[in-house]
Structure 1
Amino acid sequence: MAGMEDLMTGLNRLFGRSGLVLLMAASLVSCAVSGNRAEMKDVAEEQPLPQATAAGTTGQALLPEQTLTDDLMFDILLAEIAGQRGAMDTSVPHYLQAAENARDPRVAERAVQIASYAKQYDIAERAARRWVELAPDDMEAHKALTVLALHLGDTAEAITQLDYLISNSDDPEEGYRLAAALLARDANKDEAVAAMEKLVAHHPENPHAWLALSRMAVNAERLEEGLDAVNKALELSPQLPAAVILKAQILVRLDRKAEATRVLDAAVSAHPENTMLHFAYGRMLLDGDDLDGARKQFGKVVELEPDNAEGLYSLALLELETKQYKAGEKHLQQLLQLRPDEQNAYYYLGYSALEQGDDAAALQWYRKVEEGDYWSQSQLRIAEILLRQGKVDAMQNHMLLLRQKNPDQSVTFFLIEGQVFTDAGMHEAAFNLYGAALETSPDNEELLYAHSLAAEKLGKLDIAERDMRRILKNDPENTRTLNALGYTLADRTTRYEEALVYIKKAYEQEPNDPAIIDSLGWVHYRLGNLDEARSLLQRAWDITGNSEIGAHLGEVMWAQGDREGARRIWEVSLKAEPENPMLLKVIDRYNP
């Protein structure tokens, strides 16, 4: 089973119904502590549990009347109190005993929960079997037994339970989706595929069975088998949209993108009213950088379903990306009518206003972002706008207030404020700010790293090196800092051999990181290894086209006598970043 945390999360979601036994435990705690059965009987003479609807839901058969015998009461209370005290080796067997003696399925359900919490999954499975026995129509009981059987490798039981869930689901597709979700929790993906294959053998004419098998095969990275299974689903149901979409996704992963595009293009042509197909086609076109084609597909989604939130959001972002700001804002406003608390919409409305030069509107929108993925970015944008308006005190007061209101995130706000200063070229202000923050968090890696970069910008190389070495003292394998220290030594000192040691160590950890490849190329240039330097820098340039890497590559080309090549690289870099100070400095040096 994948991750015990995932198993516990799944099981705990099944159990929210133990209030009765907990209430009993609380009211009789003094008796249970002593473990004296006679004392417990004095408090509660034999009495039936109150009858309630099964699983706490209406419309189901009443639970059987349960007599609270001394033995049953003793087992339940001892198990609860022992569990509360962390004595799970006492709690688990007593709850299992109670489950086996009781006729109330809630006791078995609680036993499953306790045993699972204690990671005694074999006992949890026994309790789950009892739960299913006492409540044979309870889907949650069957789900719990399925999860536990899969974890314990009890494939036969798992298949029996999955077959029950599928057969008793109101929607066959939903039944197989549930089966696939439960099987996907199994850490042994090949065993999960084998289990699904056995389920498909029970229902070979059901296209949803083959679709579920395809998903399981893809999850196990068995893409060709996944393609075969989804093709079988389409043979049985040629118009099944989910199967068409999955086939296209598999083809993309098999590097058959043109074929995938044809599959979805044909599907949307045959089913122009199907929003799911249009959305999937739009996503595929977007992944292929066909922004106009993707925008048309998302536009069709919104045309067919004006209240489709995902369609509105995707269409709006594409419109903003292609500078159709008014259209993007219109669709974000529509999204907010559906979801008034959609934080991302507020952020992108701020972005749109900012791109159009309306700082006042941008501030208004960014200040509406109160949480979520773009909260920190919104605070950064607010600070940048205030600084650009010359309101340094207002910006600093804004960040101070955020730190006061959110002391646990104070480091984050120092970093945001420092980044604002850095982006504005105010390196001294950034350096001083990070230094003040380090007084209370002297070993914070992010603050040390930011402080070191600010120090380097100011030419305070001794401080920059000190900060980086402090990080490496606490984390000798810190790739980012190894690279930064090596590059600083290569670029700002003559300690090239020492720089090479640090950069090579970073490169060993991240051999495909273009920033590290650039550093390695640059130190080889400093060492006079021009051919090696050019090869590395060309590789880094091919990955990113970064202007600073282009500046380095051009400089090496120039040193090799390839001045035309150097000028071409610099020209391309300059078009991408016409105001990059490092690039401009290099070009001025060689083309005065």
Structure 2
Amino acid sequence: MLKLYEEVDSKKAYLPVFQKVDKETGKKSDGLSFQLAVLEWGKQNFKDSSQILKELTVRYPQNEKLIYLLALTQERNDQAEEALKTYLSIDLKSELYPVTRVRAFELLKRLGRNEEALAISKEAIDSKSDQAVMFYSMSANLLSATGKNDEAIALVDQGLEGEPSNVELLFLKAVFYEKAQKIKESMAALRDVIKRDPKHAAALNYLGYMYAERNENLKESESLIRRALDEKPDNGYYLDSLGWVYYQQKRYKEAALTLERALQLTNSDATVAEHLGDAYYAGGDEGKALIAYKIAIDTAKDPKDLERVKSKYEMAKNAHN
């Protein structure tokens, strides 16, 4: 029942608004209507919840929080166009402007309307919103996801002009450099992030894994990843990185033990499962390698990854027979 409130992090804020109106007008209908909308939301009946909220917004057209709740409900009810229109009706001066643009951006992205999503983000950036850095990040990630890493880097650079000390933007730049196969530039940017923030777990792990992946600077790689794990000891992906360092160091038993825990923490991630299979196989346990590779096959999404793991599975199968 409280999920509708939680969507805007305000369990206590909404109902009192209508209770106040009820008290002033001597009526109880609007407060009850709002509670009914929340109840219908809790029952996943977004159609009725949306209708009730829409009626309330007609009576309270200045209540932007109510309008935002309507947009959320329309989105859940698969009323994409209506939700977009409602999100975008929130004015630039509203405290809800950033969150409505984020929701509109994500909705457009899910619909595959990337250019419109980028336009929404650009509008938010141009508005000099306090959340401009977030929109730089969102747009850059979308550009990178569609293979436009150079454009993503350029956009992050634009963001860094206004926020030169923002390590999160600098970290993103490092990631996009790596995706664009500009390895030296990526490593340099990661070192810069770590210099500015020695406890930046993501940067520590990313640089450490880049070294491990290339089988170079393994001592430094292990040190970096351990520092990341000091910050986030239960991060399965960081444990995967450490396990891969052990693998490259031919410490196969330690690699397998570390990767087993990583697999649990990442809910059987395909890459982690493949790494575990490699560690088992290199350590001479083809039977366990087959099990790990099968997990990787079942969870792999990229066709290239799938073919590679299938090849390893057959290799382990032949060795096991």
Q: TM-score, normalised by structure 1?
A: 0.41
* Separation (CA, whole Å) in 1 of partners of 2:245 and 2:308: 17
How far the C-alpha of 1:423 sits from its partner, in A, is 2.9
CA deviations on 1:125-177 (whole Å, 9 max, x unpaired) are xxxxxxxxxxxxxxxxxxxxxxxxxxxxxxxxxxxxxxxxxxxxxxxxxxxxx
Q: Does 1:312 align with 2:312?
A: no
How far the C-alpha of 1:488 sits from its partner, in A, is 1.6
Q: Indicate the residue corresponding to 2:72 in structure 1.
A: 347
Q: Does 1:535 align with 2:257?
A: yes
Change (3 A) 1:377 1:409: closer
The answer to whether the Cα contact below 8 Å between 1:554 and 1:570 also exists between their aligned partners in 2 is yes
* Separation (CA, whole Å) in 1 of partners of 2:307 and 2:157: 29
How far the C-alpha of 1:441 sits from its partner, in A, is 2.7
For 1:478, give the aligned amino acid.
Answer: H
- Note the 1:281-430 alignment, pairs <5 A: 307-316=35-44, 327-338=45-56, 341=66, 343-353=68-78, 360=81, 363-364=84-85, 366-367=87-88, 371=96, 375=100, 377-382=102-107, 384=109, 388-389=112-113, 392=115, 394-430=116-152
Q: Indicate the residue corresponding to 1:549 in structure 2.
A: 272
Change (3 A) 1:440 1:334: same
How far the C-alpha of 1:448 sits from its partner, in A, is 0.6
How far the C-alpha of 1:539 sits from its partner, in A, is 0.6
How far the C-alpha of 1:440 sits from its partner, in A, is 3.5
Change (3 A) 1:400 1:530: same
* Separation (CA, whole Å) in 1 of partners of 2:297 and 2:56: 44
How far the C-alpha of 1:411 sits from its partner, in A, is 1.4
Q: Indicate the residue corresponding to 2:8 in structure 1.
A: none
* Separation (CA, whole Å) in 1 of partners of 2:170 and 2:304: 24
Q: TM-score, normalised by structure 2?
A: 0.71
Q: Indicate the residue corresponding to 1:501 in structure 2.
A: 223
* Separation (CA, whole Å) in 1 of partners of 2:127 and 2:97: 17
Change (3 A) 1:566 1:583: farther
How far the C-alpha of 1:586 sits from its partner, in A, is 4.1
CA deviations on 1:350-384 (whole Å, 9 max, x unpaired) are 2553xxxx865564455457728953541432552
- Note the 1:39-438 alignment, pairs <5 A: 307-316=35-44, 327-338=45-56, 341=66, 343-353=68-78, 360=81, 363-364=84-85, 366-367=87-88, 371=96, 375=100, 377-382=102-107, 384=109, 388-389=112-113, 392=115, 394-438=116-160
Q: Indicate the residue corresponding to 1:148 in structure 2.
A: none
The answer to whether the Cα contact below 8 Å between 2:137 and 2:172 also exists between their aligned partners in 1 is yes
The answer to whether the Cα contact below 8 Å between 1:553 and 1:566 also exists between their aligned partners in 2 is yes
* Separation (CA, whole Å) in 1 of partners of 2:309 and 2:254: 22
The answer to whether the Cα contact below 8 Å between 1:383 and 1:420 also exists between their aligned partners in 2 is no
Which residue of 504, 517, 528 maps to 2:239? 517
Change (3 A) 1:590 1:362: farther
* Separation (CA, whole Å) in 1 of partners of 2:303 and 2:124: 32
How far the C-alpha of 1:538 sits from its partner, in A, is 0.9
* Separation (CA, whole Å) in 2 of partners of 1:588 and 1:364: 47
Unaligned residue ranges in structure 2 (runs of 5+): 3-31, 61-65, 315-321
Change (3 A) 1:492 1:515: same
Higher RCO (Cα < 8 Å, 6 or more apart): 2
RMSD across aligned positions (CA)? 3.3
SS at match of 1:538: helix
For 1:475, give the aligned amino acid.
Answer: D
Change (3 A) 1:497 1:586: farther
For 1:347, give the aligned amino acid.
Answer: L
The answer to whether the Cα contact below 8 Å between 2:153 and 2:177 also exists between their aligned partners in 1 is yes
Q: Indicate the residue corresponding to 1:193 in structure 2.
A: none
The answer to whether the Cα contact below 8 Å between 2:296 and 2:309 also exists between their aligned partners in 1 is no
Change (3 A) 1:343 1:470: same
Change (3 A) 1:345 1:564: farther
Q: Indicate the residue corresponding to 1:558 in structure 2.
A: 281
SS at match of 2:130: helix
Moved more, 426-435 or 521-530: 426-435
> Identity rate of aligned residues, in percent?
23
The answer to whether the Cα contact below 8 Å between 1:366 and 1:382 also exists between their aligned partners in 2 is no
* Separation (CA, whole Å) in 2 of partners of 1:558 and 1:333: 59
Q: Indicate the residue corresponding to 1:228 in structure 2.
A: none
For 1:489, give the aligned amino acid.
Answer: Y
Change (3 A) 1:507 1:377: same
How far the C-alpha of 1:446 sits from its partner, in A, is 1.2
Q: Indicate the residue corresponding to 2:11 in structure 1.
A: none
The structure having more radius of gyration, on CA atoms, is 1
The answer to whether the Cα contact below 8 Å between 2:193 and 2:203 also exists between their aligned partners in 1 is yes
* Separation (CA, whole Å) in 2 of partners of 1:491 and 1:369: 47
